[in-house]
Amino acid sequence: MAEYRFTDEQNQLRDAVRKFSADHFSEEKVRQLMESDPPFDPKVWARLGGELGVLGLSVPEADGGVGGTLVDQAVAIEELGARLACGPLFGTVYLAIPALVAASSGPARDELLGDLIEGRRTAAAAVVDRAGVFDPDAVTVTADGDALSGTVTQVVDGGIADVLLVAARGSDGVALYAVDTEVAGVQRTPLATLDLTRSEANVTFSDAPAQVIAGPDETARILDYALQVGAALLAVEQVGAAQHLLDLSVEYAKSRLQFGRPIGSFQGVKHRLADLLVDVEHARSTAYHAIWALTDGSDDPALATSVAQAVCSAALSHVATDAIQVHGGIGFTWEHQAHLYYKRAATDAVLLGGAEEHRDRVAAMVLDGATIDRVPWVADGTAV
Amino acid sequence: MSNHADAERVAERARGVVADHDPKTVPIPDYLGACYDAGLSWVHFPEGLGGLGVSRGLQAVADRILQGAGGPVPLGLNPMGYGMAAPTIREHAQSEDVKRQWLRPLATTEDLWCQLFSEPGAGSDLAGLATSAVRDGGEWVINGQKVWTSLAHRARWGLLLARSNPDVPKHKGLSYFVIDMHGAGVETRPLRQLTGQAEFNEVYFTDARIPDKHRLGDVGNGWNVAMTTLMNERTALGGSGSRRGAGTIADATALWASRPERQTPVLRDRLTQLWLRSEAQRLTSERSRAAATVGGPGPEGSIGKLVGAELNQHIYQWCMDFLGPEGLLYRGYEQGAATGERDWQGPIQQKFLRSRANTIEGGTSEVMRNILGERILGLPGDMRADAGMPWKEIPRG
């Protein structure tokens, strides 16, 4: 499975998801859903799981999945991201399913994983991360036996999920729990968000009954892995959205006439779009490299995902900004779709760590403590 | 034959060459001649012309073995020969005899090649060039001036684009030739650049003569032939090493590590941004290569020249900012010239100066962005004031 080579099956999967998205996540549908309560269509979600089977593509067959790879999952996410597909993808597909896959088998974990893959239930992760890395010291929820108490703020998809995965500190340390959001003891406060297509909620647990998914011995490993997979899939989503915006802007530059000619014939516009093409291609290369690194271990996943997040967050933000500029006045209207992507770009740039935080992490890995194997020649003012 | 069997055949031939000609002891021309005879110079070329008629991607199989055994990188020894002349000759030379006459000495590096395209009045607008080619029986008579010709003083052959018909629109009146750089009427003068070195030359033609059999492609079709050359040039310029952190960025990261007292958080973040862009471009080249082995080269390939040129400039600008007062020192502008040392072999400050040319040579960044916009994104071309005009009526200056 050589890096960057997609199989025929993966290309077919891409076509299938693209078609499904065109039918169910058209701009009109997305606008309808984002102002509904809940802000997604549970029936369409169930079809994504049960019919199309794209919610748990990399789950092993033994765990009820189709035994595909993370590359398959990425291909599907790129297409869903291109359409700003509404639903708890971030909570369920990016974080909860990878966490459950990494956890040891057990009745609670197996049943939940099966339901999430099939689209029968949805999930969100009430886990505080520091720029995409799990930090046990940041856990504020406490566990008293199987009862959780505490508050987690700004849980993505937290207001619409059926189940919350929660990192909570008990007497033995931090463990991972699953909490049904409908039970007494869970209070969710939906938040008004910049991006209407990706919701957040504050969640307060008051002696909420929970099921243990993983003990303190494996929780950190599970969440580190889930956050890395989440960062890589988020990067792929950014690639999908960026490509969509670039296509949209190029089409507009070809058809919009000013001074008697298409605006795309002016170098000021053309060169801006050429730069966006470079950004999109760079983003795609780094996002899929991270996916492959997590799939076959060909690279350090911590470095690969930080590179992808640093590059893809900056790329989508740049593309979304310039897409509005290329569209001119119409791009600033509510009626035009550019703002939906601009707001998603702002959201994605922050989730699981911003570009600056990931750059700092990359610097720590490749610059700090770097040793010199060859000192570059610097002229010293001596004419030899 | 399957790709796998081809790969094995290429590898076997390469191992054979290395076994019979130890690159550490055999003179370079003999060694590269053996590579040519074994069909390993350009594996996708036909047999008998330095190739084996197999897929281009398999060149890497041969190079890994040949260069792994300590053999030279021929593109570095005869850059215009290997990178541009060979593919153009293969595609457009008139006869097999001429191809054979040129390709083997090119491959051995006994004959170096140069490219005679740019003129003082024709840079980005290459098709507007003025050097004339006038037919005289079985020969062509050449008059005019070329500029920015690297290796002209050492080259035996030159790839020449000249105007054979001034009465038609500019792209239609060009023809493409191979000229003997040792012939009468060809004068080469070094051109000193702002680094102090003279890597390039000006070449003057005064009634220089070329036999018609040394014309590549049809009369008036020179522009299309030149495109073969230029596409190969940009691929060569844009190609980068496949190892993480290698290439230009390695100068900056090594400099960073060598002077802890100069390190600041702002310079650290700037360097990280450059490192990330280098890494993203490296991965994009990898992806381009993966796509090239399953289909044609993807859009990723054309991006390399643009990004690589700007990265070089930004990286050496960073180096200068990092060095502070130390960067103001030099080693004298007369140094290195006598030994034929290249700018890229000089100190950081010299590389900083040399990098200014990166966004001009081999297609300016403005032209590269036009290419990305028009050929890849499909945006409409700019308005051209000289569209359809016979070349001789176009204003020049």
Going along chain B from its start, the domains and CATH numbers come out as 3-108 (1.10.540), 113-223 (2.40.110.10), 239-363 (1.20.140)
For residues B161 and B176, the answer to whether their CB atoms sit within 8 Å is: yes
For residues B302 and B375, the answer to whether their CB atoms sit within 8 Å is: yes
For residues B362 and B233, the answer to whether their CB atoms sit within 8 Å is: yes
Q: Where are the alpha helices (DSSP H) in B247-324?
A: 248-258, 265-294, 300-323
pLDDT < 50 regions, chain A: none
| pLDDT in the model for residue B234 | 55
> How does the average pLDDT of chain B come out, rounded?
91
Sequence length of chain A is 384
Instruction: Establish if A50 touches chain B: CB-CB under 8 angstroms.
Output: no
pLDDT in tens, B27-61: 999 999 999 999 999 999 999 999 999 988 888 88
For residues B329 and A381, the answer to whether their CB atoms sit within 8 Å is: yes
For residues A238 and A348, the answer to whether their CB atoms sit within 8 Å is: yes
Chain-chain contact of B377 with A362 (C-beta, under 8 angstroms)? no
Beta-carbon contacts of residue A289 (< 8 Å; ≥ 6 apart): A3, A299, A304, A307, A308, B283
Q: Which two structure tokens, joined as six digits, stand for A1? A: 């499975």
Instruction: Establish if A192 touches chain B: CB-CB under 8 angstroms.
Output: no
Residues of chain A with Cβ-Cβ distance to B333 below 8 Å are none
Nearest to A5 among B281, B284, B294 (CB): B294
Instruction: Establish if A260 touches chain B: CB-CB under 8 angstroms.
Output: no
State residue B129 phi and psi, 5-degree precision: -60, 155
Active site residue B366: no
Q: Which residue of B has its CA nearest to A362?
A: B272
Query: What's the whole-number mean pLDDT along residues B114-122?
Result: 95
Nearest to A285 among B287, B370, B379 (CB): B287
Instruction: Establish if A360 touches chain B: CB-CB under 8 angstroms.
Output: yes
For an interface test with B, give the residue of A10, A250, A270, A316 to mutate (most B CBs within 10 A): A270
Nearest to A363 among B268, B281, B329 (CB): B268
Q: Which amino acid is at A129?
A: D
State residue B2 phi and psi, 5-degree precision: -70, 160
**Burial bucket for residue B351 (CB in 10 Å: 0-12, 13-18, 19+):** buried
**B299 has a pLDDT exceeding 60:** no
Nearest to A254 among B269, B279, B380 (CB): B380
Nearest to A311 among B245, B257, B280 (CB): B280
Q: Where are the alpha helices (DSSP H) in chain A?
A: 8-24, 27-34, 42-50, 70-82, 89, 97-102, 107-118, 216-255, 267-296, 301-327, 338-350, 355-366
Chain-chain contact of B254 with A311 (C-beta, under 8 angstroms)? no
Identify which of B112, B185, B199 has the alpha carbon closest to the alpha carbon of residue B155.
B112
Task: List C-alpha distances in Å: A88 to A52, A94, A121, B182.
Answer: 16, 9, 10, 73
Q: Which residue of B has its CA nearest to A299?
A: B244
| pLDDT in the model for residue B300 | 57
| pLDDT in the model for residue B198 | 87
Q: Please name the residue that has the structure tokens 């491959």.
A: B107
Strand pairing report for B200-211 and B215-216: unpaired
Nearest to B329 among A4, A360, A381 (CB): A381
Chain-chain contact of A377 with B370 (C-beta, under 8 angstroms)? no
Q: Which two structure tokens, joined as six digits, stand for B45? A: 């070329």
Instruction: Establish if A318 touches chain B: CB-CB under 8 angstroms.
Output: no
| pLDDT in the model for residue B336 | 63
Q: Which residue of A has its CA nearest to B293?
A: A5
Catalytic one of B233, B261, B279, B286: B233
A242 to chain B, closest Cα gap in Å: 14
Cα angle: A172, vertex A177, A178; to 5 degrees = 165
**B146 has a pLDDT exceeding 50:** yes
Chain-chain contact of B284 with A310 (C-beta, under 8 angstroms)? no
For residues A167 and A209, the answer to whether their CB atoms sit within 8 Å is: no
For residues A280 and B307, the answer to whether their CB atoms sit within 8 Å is: no
| pLDDT in the model for residue A159 | 97
Contact map slice: A 211-250 vs B, CB within 8 A: 250
Instruction: Establish if A366 touches chain B: CB-CB under 8 angstroms.
Output: yes
Q: Which residue of B has its CA nearest to A370?
A: B257
Residues of chain B with Cβ-Cβ distance to A7 below 8 Å are none
Instruction: Walk me through the domains of chain A, giving residue ranges and CATH numbers.
Output: 220-366 (1.20.140.10)
Q: Which amino acid is at B124?
A: S
For an interface test with A, give the residue of B253, B272, B281, B341 to mutate (most A CBs within 10 A): B272
Residues of chain A with Cβ-Cβ distance to B264 below 8 Å are none
Q: Which amino acid is at B86?
A: A
pLDDT in tens, B185-223: 999 999 999 998 888 999 999 999 999 999 999 999 999
Chain-chain contact of B272 with A382 (C-beta, under 8 angstroms)? no
A368 to chain B, closest Cα gap in Å: 8
Residues of chain A with Cβ-Cβ distance to B257 below 8 Å are 367, 370-372
| pLDDT in the model for residue B352 | 97
Chain-chain contact of B374 with A250 (C-beta, under 8 angstroms)? no
pLDDT in tens, B162-184: 999 999 999 999 999 999 999 99
Measure the CA dihedral B126/B365/B397/B134, to 10°: -10
Residue B227: how many other CB atoms lie within 10 Å: 11
Q: Work out the angle between the directed axes of helices B28-37 and B3-20 (0-180°, nearest 10).
A: 150
- Calpha distance A76→A53 (Å, rounded): 10
pLDDT in tens, B252-280: 999 999 999 999 999 999 999 999 999 99
Beta-carbon contacts of residue A217 (< 8 Å; ≥ 6 apart): none
Q: Please name the residue that has the structure tokens 């069909």.
A: B39
**B294 has a pLDDT exceeding 90:** no
DSSP state of B375: I
Instruction: Establish if A289 touches chain B: CB-CB under 8 angstroms.
Output: yes
Q: Please name the residue that has the structure tokens 């004068």.
A: B187
Identify which of A78, A39, A76, A92 has the alpha carbon closest to the alpha carbon of residue A198.
A39
The whole-model pTM stands at: 0.92
Helices (H) and strands (E) counted in chain A, each on its own, are: 12, 12
Identify which of B106, B72, B73, B74 has the alpha carbon closest to the alpha carbon of residue B88.
B106
Chain-chain contact of B287 with A266 (C-beta, under 8 angstroms)? no
The residue that leads in pLDDT, B327 or B199, is B327
Residues of chain B with Cβ-Cβ distance to A374 below 8 Å are 250, 254
| pLDDT in the model for residue B237 | 46
For an interface test with A, give the residue of B276, B278, B323, B367 to mutate (most A CBs within 10 A): B276
**B338 has a pLDDT exceeding 70:** no
- Calpha distance A204→A141 (Å, rounded): 9
Chain-chain contact of A379 with B306 (C-beta, under 8 angstroms)? no
Nearest to B369 among A274, A307, A367 (CB): A274
The residue that leads in pLDDT, B388 or B341, is B388
